[in-house]
Amino acid sequence: MALNDETKILRVGAAQFDAVAGSIAANATIHERLIDEAGGLGVEVLVFPELSLPGYASSVLDEAPERCVVDPDGPELMPLREACRRNRVVAVVGGALRNPRGLGLSALVVDRQGQVCATYDKQHLDGRERGWFVPGTSGCMIEVDGWRLALGICYDYSYLQARSWCKSS
């Protein structure tokens, strides 16, 4: 996409915080605060780290991986869903989702109406993740204000770079 006077710039932000291990409710409240802050700065898409909702804690994943499972429509996500709606921010948040093959290490996209509009499961698991999760089987692309954005989680990018699949012009 070439930039010109008619092209809208998309403001994308990255969020980082110390997650509460295994507490989706506590971390959703932190997400809410960060979405509010980002919205006040004019951010339109806010991206959180992998497993940002339950926290990336190997002790929790070893002992009780079900504590990392996110219910996209559940009450625990209401604070961050409301923050997306209130601030007109699209948020990409991390959690685990059940699928027919097991547990996916997932990204959930919450749109400006506060709805989970897309999900993506990490395709290239690294190290211990292979014991906790099943790999995703397809990519995911979203569109925000005419910008097409592909989702990837951590090692997905390293895997692509190592094989020279990603080329820049």
Residues serving a catalytic function are 50, 122, 154
Is beta strand 102-110 parallel, antiparallel or unpaired with respect to 90-99? antiparallel
What is the distance between the alpha carbons of residues 122 and 124, in angstroms, rounded to a whole number? 6
Strand pairing class (45-47; 147-150):
unpaired
Are 21 and 59 within 8 A, CB to CB?
Answer: yes
H or E element that contains 25? helix 24-40
Task: Give me the residues paired with residue 69 across strands.
Answer: 96
Q: What is the dihedral of CA 151, 157, 163, 165, to 10 degrees?
A: 40
Please answer whether residues 105 and 68 qualify as being in contact, where contact means their C-beta atoms are separated by less than 8 angstroms.
no
Instruction: Tell me if residue 158 falls in helix, strand or coil.
Output: helix
